[in-house]
């Protein structure tokens, strides 16, 4: 039997998660058995070669079930059916389609990529192409993949230690182009007596021009207030440095943003969780390019009558 589309895996995966906890590996094995895939089918890989086709489709089915809040993480890398999932399973005894998930009231919000904004195309299913041009479908699929990566990237960051996050923000700033190289330009501080400073970046070989870093790994709904930014500015002044970057996984209260917009002698840049994820994806920190797709179009100039 050919490997089924991911939407055909939705109900069997949810039924499995209602019986026992699953991981992406055990779910892939279960789908291979459920659909009686041959050994050759199980070895087929996606074009990039990054994973097998069945694992890729199983992973997407799990992502859709997670976005629908039908399954949820119950332990690291482990998922189980939620109460909502069990009720949904009972209400759909034969099949669960993507349209069934899209009918849920919070479906589009689940694919929200930026705080307070949901992209109109993100809630669309990868295989729901009605009314879309091929280019629209590609754009919608890319946005959906990006939304999924952003969510998993933030989750992975929050699961790490504060010290890991402090090193991560240095890697991001070095990737952007601050400093020269990681070993000599960036220093992870993050210890008692550092006045709240988590890192330093040398803008020149001798370290005459420095940028000080503070990193706060907060839950997405916990804002950074003005008092925290004021304390950071005070730390910069205390160390004789005029430039600073404050990075968080959450967001900055309006009062904090207004404070740094004032004509301060100290220049402070605020990077919130949304901006951090954008930078990590753009500069490939913590992510990798799985596949590069080239879209071609007719070269009208080649076929013009002009000599």
The closest of 176, 236, 174 to 202, measured between CA atoms, is: 174
Residue 306 burial class via C-beta count within 10 angstroms: exposed 0-12, middle 13-18, buried 19 and up: exposed
pLDDT at 70 (0 to 100): 97
pLDDT at 120 (0 to 100): 44
Same fold, 1-105 and 162-282: no
Q: How far apart are CA 61 and CA 210, in angstroms?
A: 47
* 3-state DSSP percent of the chain in helix, strand and coil, to 5: 45, 15, 40
| Tokens describing residue 160 | 């790490």
Residue 37 is given by DSSP the state -
Q: How far is CA 133 from CA 5, 137, 138, in A?
A: 21, 6, 9
Q: What is the pLDDT along the chain (307 residues), one digit of tens a residue?
A: 689 999 999 999 999 999 999 999 999 999 999 999 999 999 999 877 878 999 999 999 999 999 999 999 998 889 999 999 999 999 999 999 999 999 999 898 888 766 655 444 444 544 455 556 777 778 888 888 888 899 889 989 999 999 999 999 999 999 998 875 555 555 666 554 456 788 888 877 766 778 999 999 998 889 999 999 999 999 998 888 999 999 999 999 999 999 998 867 889 999 999 999 999 999 999 999 888 888 888 888 888 766 5
Domain boundaries along the sequence of the chain: 1-105, 111-159, 162-282
CATH class of 1-105: mainly alpha
Q: How far apart are CA 171 and CA 286, in angstroms?
A: 10
CATH class of 162-282: alpha beta
pLDDT at 186 (0 to 100): 57
Q: Check: CB of residue 156 under 8 Å from CB of residue 142.
A: no
Q: How far apart are CA 268 and CA 125, in angstroms?
A: 41
| Tokens describing residue 301 | 């100039």
Q: Check: CB of residue 25 under 8 Å from CB of residue 14.
A: no
Q: How far is CA 298 from CA 136, 295, 303, in A?
A: 18, 10, 9
* pTM, two decimal places: 0.74
pLDDT at 194 (0 to 100): 53
Residue 236 burial class via C-beta count within 10 angstroms: exposed 0-12, middle 13-18, buried 19 and up: buried
């Amino acid at each position: 039997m050919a490997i089924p589309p991911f939407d055909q895996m939705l109900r069997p995966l949810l039924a499995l998660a209602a019986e026992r906890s699953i991981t992406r590996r055990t779910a892939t094995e279960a789908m291979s058995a459920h659909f009686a895939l041959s050994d050759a089918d199980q070895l087929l890989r996606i074009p990039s070669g990054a994973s097998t086709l069945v694992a890729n489709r199983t992973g997407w089915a799990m992502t859709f079930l997670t976005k629908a809040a039908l399954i949820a993480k119950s332990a690291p890398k482990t998922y189980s059916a939620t109460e909502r999932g069990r009720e949904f399973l009972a209400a759909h005894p034969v099949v669960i389609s993507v349209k069934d998930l899209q009918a849920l009231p919070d479906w589009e919000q689940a694919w929200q990529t930026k705080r307070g904004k949901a992209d109109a195309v993100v809630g669309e299913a990868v295989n729901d192409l009605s009314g879309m041009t091929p280019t629209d479908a590609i754009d919608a699929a890319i946005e959906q993949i990006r939304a999924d990566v952003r969510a998993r990237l933030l989750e992975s960051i929050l699961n790490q230690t504060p010290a890991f996050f402090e090193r991560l923000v240095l890697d991001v700033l070095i990737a952007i182009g601050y400093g020269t190289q990681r070993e000599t330009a960036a220093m992870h501080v993050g210890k008692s007596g550092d006045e709240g400073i988590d890192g330093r970046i040398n803008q020149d070989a001798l370290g005459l021009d420095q940028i000080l870093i503070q990193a706060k790994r907060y839950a997405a709904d916990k804002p950074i207030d003005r008092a925290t930014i004021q304390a950071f500015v005070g730390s910069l002044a205390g160390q004789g440095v005029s430039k600073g970057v404050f990075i968080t996984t959450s967001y900055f209260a309006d009062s904090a943003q207004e404070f740094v917009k004032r004509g301060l002698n100290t220049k402070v840049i605020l990077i919130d969780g949304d901006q951090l994820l954008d930078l990590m994806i753009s500069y490939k920190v913590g992510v990798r390019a799985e596949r590069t797709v080239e879209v071609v179009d007719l070269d009208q100039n080649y076929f013009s009558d002009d000599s």
